[in-house]
């Protein structure tokens, strides 16, 4: 592991005395004045933004990352409780619409340093090589301007930095993981048993939870609250995997700073910096380069809210590409009832997965595929699953009393990118007076076929494992796209290096740039894309 | 029918609160304290909301989770989920509007305000809205108001230690964690289900 520490010292910069935050590192952090022209200002300090910050700081650039939310201290700010974790989510107003509107809030993006990875589950699979060429291979989706092999070295590096634990991975580009697989709890046991019965290959992992001590990060205590923020520092999020090293290398993290627009010099067409609000006061941070990494909804919204005389329809939106091709994964969730006690709340929700159905199967009436994973909802989320069956009152309570007997799996179905699935601006404004995002989603036939196919496999699997009753609800997960990477400005917003076509010193380095999503959870790929963009930016791309 | 507590005899989440970290303990124990005055709902709205929430969670025989207080606190502090369907107003407005529509339905059908109706009538009024599915109810999709009600109701109820007692869930788990994960394995402080084959109401019942 000496190699990792030399590249990224974060895990060794955390305290090893049972507390979780290196306060002195934050207090003594280098700071820049608004009028100081920094090399790069980054909007958003989540998966993409924090990775970029650490890489650029390592390269010696003067960088500051602004985040709308707080600079979390897991000891003080996070609780081992579902309802008490509401403050981790982005809960500013948003409007949803379309034929299949996608509920947001707790199920989507986060707010604060670390971004959505603070409360993500922790599955960190790679994309498959085919994900970068779905149009050529399958006639659907889009082809990326980069290939899998362009990301492979970044995947490998990041898997060591998080670090990722899991069995040797047989799918996509087969690879191993730096940490051994975790022992599984009841839900993982059920998944493995059912898969074995049906001859489906399932593997433990890949999860960004250290198996054993990693630097000063302790071992997971299998308490099951990964989606509420890990108070242990066992589960990876940029707050502990990239921010400490960035600070130690002279980067600034400016929390509680909501960016309201990106300013472009109307004469030169270059970005000058960002306007933001902190402590109720407007500020302007000057910068030689700007990178936006605010999540697939806030990034397009910020571009649209940064209209000017040069860009009357929104920044980088001359070809009406901003906000389009947003994708969610169809995430049907199937639960099965066992006479034995499963107690799925014990152990991390991310335990076991299968990518056996990931690729296009020519025998099937649909293109592309889905993956299967353990999900293990806690009581409130489980109640939503039961209530979604139409149960309420006494019947709902009776189902809920049975909680310890249920096992729960989720699929991630590769929904296809469609131009009409997009973010636009609503009439309504938020507390800063800015129009809020209006997010429209409608499924296509292929999407619906995948949902039903995944449901059938999960129900069979749980029955094979011995379940009596099985119940399924339709859900969605993981928004990506909205400012996609493409070969030219008529098909996307950024080029292969995440540089916007319209403004030469403006980059987008978050999940927004993904042209397709596969059926893998996106965080590792978002980090890999950001790390690759960092190499380009640090290489003197001004 | 199983009554509260019967499946996990003697299981008491609060008896373990000494093992919780102080930040979590403060948040959870605040929920079991005495409910304060309503700050968001008017007294009339509060009565209708209390009746609705108690019916949605079948609270006639306990355990008396102060649902209206928990929902009122969320709405008065603006702890909403943020997002809304485009045919709906923001959550606070949607709660007020839907409670007044519920009263209107009750007056039209039963001749009493919703809170004053007998429980069976309240249940019938609620079921009628549930049965509308995506159809219109006073200008909004019934399914959208159903989603709003049940999300708030379930979040409030299953955040409460009394609810955890009846489902066998131990609640906060930091810093202790779990040592015995796996099928049919328990921690010393977990209680075995006394009626493991008590399958819930079968599908379609
Ligand atoms: C419940 C849940 C479970 C998940 N599980 C997994 C999983 O198991 N595996 C996986 O790979 N992915 C998972 N995800 C998804 C994953 O967390 C996200 O895809 C990923 O974090 C997105 O990265 P990002 O850089 O695009 O945005 P984020 O990580 O969300 O970062 C965006 C940041 O920008 C800030 N911001 C936004 N707008 C502004 C502004 N105007 N000014 C200043 N700051 C701003 C926000 O506060 C936020 O911190 C999960 C997500 C959720 C919600
Ligand atoms: S289960 Fe492990 S990784 Fe998940 S929150 Fe708990 S300690 Fe952290």
Pairing of β A435-440 and β A422-429:
antiparallel
Among candidate residues A357, A434, A2, the one with its CA nearest the CA of residue A195: A357
Q: Is B203 on the interface with A (CB under 8 A)?
A: yes
The shortest C-alpha distance from B78 to chain A (Å) reads 9
Whether B84 and B179 map to the same domain: the answer is no
Backbone dihedral region of B121: left (phi > 0), alpha (psi from -120 to 50 degrees) or beta?
alpha
A232 CB under 6 A from ligand 2? yes
Using alpha carbons, list the distances in angstroms from residue B163 to A41, A403, B156, B175, B198: 47, 11, 10, 22, 18
Rounded Cα–Cα distance for residues A336 and B203 (Å): 13
Rounded Cα–Cα distance for residues A270 and A410 (Å): 45
Residue in B with minimal Cα distance to A18: B175
Task: Tell me the best of A185, A230, A377 to mutate to test the pocket of ligand 2, counting ligand atoms within 8 Å of each CB and taking the most.
Answer: A230
Local confidence band at B201 (pLDDT 50, 70, 90 cut-offs): low
Q: What is the pLDDT of residue B2?
A: 40
Q: What is the pLDDT of residue B3?
A: 45
Q: What is the pTM of this model?
A: 0.97
CA of A471 to the centre of ligand 2 (A): 27
Whether B22 and B53 map to the same domain: the answer is no
Rounded Cα–Cα distance for residues A164 and A210 (Å): 7
Q: What is the CATH number of the domain that holds A415?
A: 3.50.50.60
Nearest CA to ligand 1 atom 41: A259
Whether B70 and B87 map to the same domain: the answer is yes
* Residue B37 is assigned to a structural domain of this protein: no
A53-84 CB burial, b ≥16 within 10 A, e <16 = bbbbbbeebbbbbbbbbebbebbebbbbbbbb
Structure tokens at A124: 């960190």
Pick the ligand that lies closest to the CA of residue B175.
Answer: 2
Q: Is B190 on the interface with A (CB under 8 A)?
A: yes
Secondary structure letter of residue B26 according to DSSP:
H
Secondary structure letter of residue A214 according to DSSP:
B
Task: Calculate the dihedral angle through the C-alpha atoms of A493, A498, A504, A507, rounding to the nearest 10 degrees.
Answer: 90
pLDDT over 90 (residue B124)? yes
Whether B86 and B152 map to the same domain: the answer is yes
* Containing structural domain, residue A384: 2-538
**Maximum Cα interatomic distance, chain B, rounded to a whole number of Å:** 57
Helix axes B119-132, B142-157, angle to 10 degrees: 130
Q: What is the pLDDT of residue A2?
A: 58
Whether B9 and B60 map to the same domain: the answer is no
Whether B48 and B141 map to the same domain: the answer is yes
CA of A254 to the centre of ligand 1 (A): 17
Whether B22 and B110 map to the same domain: the answer is no
Rounded Cα–Cα distance for residues A468 and B25 (Å): 37
* Containing structural domain, residue B20: 1-32+161-205
* Residue B81 is assigned to a structural domain of this protein: yes
Whether B170 and B99 map to the same domain: the answer is no
Rounded Cα–Cα distance for residues A303 and A314 (Å): 6
Backbone dihedral region of B133: left (phi > 0), alpha (psi from -120 to 50 degrees) or beta?
left
**What are the tens digits of pLDDT across the range B3-62?**
444 899 999 999 999 999 999 999 999 999 887 899 999 999 999 999 999 999 999 998
Question: In a mutagenesis test of the B interface, which of A104, A108, A343, A436 is the best target, namely the one with the most B β-carbons within 10 Å?
Answer: A343
* Residue B80 is assigned to a structural domain of this protein: yes
A225 CB under 6 A from ligand 2? yes
- How many separate domains does chain B show? 2
The closest-lying atom of ligand 2 relative to the alpha carbon of residue A225 is 5
ipTM: 0.95
Using alpha carbons, list the distances in angstroms from residue A240 to A112, A217, A237: 13, 9, 6
Whether B6 and B21 map to the same domain: the answer is yes
Rounded Cα–Cα distance for residues A134 and A368 (Å): 8
CA of A22 to the centre of ligand 2 (A): 20
Q: What is the pLDDT of residue B4?
A: 44
The shortest C-alpha distance from B94 to chain A (Å) reads 14
- Alpha-helix runs per DSSP H in chain B: 22-32, 43-56, 67-76, 91-109, 119-132, 142-157, 161-167
Rounded Cα–Cα distance for residues A77 and A69 (Å): 12
Secondary structure letter of residue A17 according to DSSP:
S
- How many separate domains does chain A show? 1
Residue in A with minimal Cα distance to B122: A393
* Residue B104 is assigned to a structural domain of this protein: yes
Pick the ligand that lies closest to the CA of residue A221.
Answer: 2
Whether B139 and B49 map to the same domain: the answer is yes
Q: Is B90 on the interface with A (CB under 8 A)?
A: yes
pLDDT over 50 (residue B66)? yes
Nearest CA to ligand 2 atom 2: A220
Using alpha carbons, list the distances in angstroms from residue A38 to A33, A293, A302, A463: 9, 17, 21, 58
Whether B2 and B101 map to the same domain: the answer is no
Secondary structure letter of residue B144 according to DSSP:
H
Secondary structure letter of residue B204 according to DSSP:
T
Q: Which helix (H) or strand (E) holds A254?
A: strand A252-254
Mean pLDDT per segment of 10 residues, for chain A of length 542 residues? 87 97 97 97 98 98 98 98 94 94 83 97 98 98 98 98 98 98 97 98 97 95 96 98 98 98 97 97 98 97 97 98 98 96 96 98 98 97 91 95 97 98 96 96 98 98 97 93 98 98 98 98 98 93 48
Whether B14 and B51 map to the same domain: the answer is no
Among candidate residues A502, A53, A88, A60, the one with its CA nearest the CA of residue A307: A502
């Amino acid at each position: 592991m000496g190699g990792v520490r030399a590249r990224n010292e974060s895990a060794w910069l955390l305290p090893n005395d049972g507390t979780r935050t290196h306060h002195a590192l934050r207090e003594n952090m280098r700071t820049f004045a608004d009028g100081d022209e920094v090399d790069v200002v980054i909007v958003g300090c989540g998966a993409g933004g924090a990775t970029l910050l650490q890489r650029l700081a390592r390269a010696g650039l003067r960088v500051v990352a602004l985040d709308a939310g707080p600079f979390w201290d897991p000891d003080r700010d996070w609780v081992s409780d579902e309802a008490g974790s509401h403050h981790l989510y982005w809960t500013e107003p948003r409007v949803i619409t379309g034929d299949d509107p996608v509920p947001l809030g707790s199920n989507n993006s986060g707010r604060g340093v670390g971004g959505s990875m603070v409360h993500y589950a922790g599955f960190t699979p790679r994309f498959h090589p085919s994900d970068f060429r779905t149009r050529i291979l399958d006639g659907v989706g889009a082809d990326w301007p980069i290939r899998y092999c362009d990301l492979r070295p970044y995947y490998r590096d990041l898997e060591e930095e998080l670090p990722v634990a899991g069995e040797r991975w047989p799918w996509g580009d087969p690879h191993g993981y730096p940490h051994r697989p975790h022992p599984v709890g009841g839900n993982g046991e059920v998944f493995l048993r059912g898969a074995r019965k049906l001859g489906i290959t399932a593997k433990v992992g890949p999860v960004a939870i250290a198996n054993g001590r990693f630097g000063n990060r302790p071992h997971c205590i299998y308490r099951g609250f990964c989606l509420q923020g890990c108070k242990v520092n066992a589960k990876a999020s940029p707050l502990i995997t990239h921010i400490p090293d960035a600070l130690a290398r002279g980067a600034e993290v400016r929390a509680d700073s909501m960016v309201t627009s990106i300013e472009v010099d109307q004469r030169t067409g270059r970005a000058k910096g960002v306007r933001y609000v902190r402590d109720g006061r407007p500020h302007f941070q000057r910068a030689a380069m700007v990178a936006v990494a605010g999540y697939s909804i806030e990034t397009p919204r910020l571009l649209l809210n940064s209209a000017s005389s040069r860009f009357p329809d929104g920044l980088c939106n001359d070809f009406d590409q901003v906000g389009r091709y947003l994708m969610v994964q169809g995430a049907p969730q199937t639960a099965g009832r066992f006479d034995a006690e499963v107690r799925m709340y014990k152990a991390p929700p991310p335990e076991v997965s299968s990518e056996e159905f990931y690729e296009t199967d020519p025998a099937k009436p649909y293109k592309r595929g889905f993956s299967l994973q353990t999900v293990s909802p806690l009581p409130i989320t489980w109640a939503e699953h039961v209530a979604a069956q139409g149960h309420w009152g006494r019947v709902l309570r009776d189902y809920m009393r049975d909680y310890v007997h249920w096992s729960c799996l989720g699929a991630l179905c590769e929904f296809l990118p469609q131009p009409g699935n997009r973010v636009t601006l609503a009439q309504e404004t938020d507390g800063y007076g800015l129009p809020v995002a209006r997010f429209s989603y409608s499924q296509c036939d292929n999407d619906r076929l995948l949902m039903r196919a995944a449901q059938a496999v999960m129900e069979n699997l749980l029955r094979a494992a011995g379940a009596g009753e099985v119940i399924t609800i339709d859900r969605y997960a993981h928004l990506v796209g909205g400012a996609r990477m493409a070969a030219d400005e008529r098909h996307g917003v950024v080029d292969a290096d995440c540089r916007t076509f319209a403004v030469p010193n403006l980059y987008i380095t978050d999940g927004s740039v993904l042209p397709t999503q596969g059926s893998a959870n996106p965080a590792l790929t978002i980090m890999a894309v950001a790390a690759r963009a960092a190499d380009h930016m640090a290489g003197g791309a001004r | 029918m199983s009554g509260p507590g019967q499946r996990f005899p003697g299981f008491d989440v609060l008896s373990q609160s000494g093992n919780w970290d102080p930040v979590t303990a403060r948040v959870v124990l605040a929920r079991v304290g005495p409910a304060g005055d309503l700050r968001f709902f008017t007294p009339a709205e509060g009565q209708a909301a209390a009746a609705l929430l108690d019916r949605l969670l079948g609270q006639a025989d306990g355990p008396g989770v102060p649902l209206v207080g928990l929902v009122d606190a969320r709405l008065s502090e603006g702890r909403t989920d943020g997002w809304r369907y485009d045919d709906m107003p923001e959550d606070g407005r949607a709660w007020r509007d839907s409670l007044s529509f519920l009263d209107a339905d009750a007056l039209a059908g039963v001749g009493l305000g919703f809170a004053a109706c007998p429980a069976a009538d309240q249940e019938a009024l609620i079921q009628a809205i549930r049965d509308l599915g995506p159809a219109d109810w006073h200008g909004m999709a019934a399914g959208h108001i159903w989603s709003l009600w049940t999300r708030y109701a379930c979040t409030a109820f299953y955040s409460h230690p009394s609810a955890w007692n009846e489902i066998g869930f131990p609640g906060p788990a930091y810093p202790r964690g779990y040592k015995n994960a796996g099928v049919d394995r328990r921690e010393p402080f977990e209680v075995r289900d006394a009626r493991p084959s008590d399958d819930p109401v079968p599908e379609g019942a």
